[in-house]
Amino acid sequence: MRDPAERLRDILEAIAAMQRHLDTQRASFEENELLQIWCVHHLQIIGEAARGLPDDVRALAPSIPWPKLIGMRNILVHGYFALDTDIIWNAAVRDAPALKPEIERLEGPGI
């Protein structure tokens, strides 16, 4: 079982992985199925890591929408036949990078 510090690192690594490959325009993203799957995979990792964090750790960052992160993972895993590239794009280029400073702050208290 992964401890909270490992799960926080998983989230940061998933964000970094998406950022490494999202130096593209939206139109290129729409045409690149591999990039879409790359982002879906890392968004799933973020949601799974968030789901595995204990409630007391999540409570240290109430501004993070934990239920939405976990819910996104569930949709991506179970609703694969109806994925919306608008949502995936926005989560990858806007929401995940915005999450990064909050997760980095959580790493600090020695979790």
The pLDDT tens digits for 54-107 are 999 999 999 999 999 999 999 998 876 778 999 999 999 999 999 999 999 998
Which of 41, 51, 78, 94 is labelled catalytic? 78
CB contact at 8 A, 106 and 57: yes
**Into how many domains does the chain fold?**
1
Largest Cα–Cα distance of the chain, in whole Å? 42
pLDDT at 82: 75
| pLDDT higher than threshold 90 for residue 2 | no
Domain of 87 in residue numbering reads as: 4-107
41 has catalytic annotation: no
- State yes or no: pLDDT of 7 exceeds 90: yes
Average pLDDT, integer, range 23-48: 93
- Identified catalytic residue from 7, 42, 58, 73: 73
- If you ran DSSP here, which 8-state letter would residue 52 be given? H
To the query of whether residue 21 is one of the catalytic residues in this protein, the response is no
The helix, strand and coil proportions of the chain, stated in percent and rounded to the nearest 5, come to 80, 0, 20
- The residue count of the chain comes to 111
Q: Confirm if 24 and 85 have CB atoms less than 8 A apart.
A: no
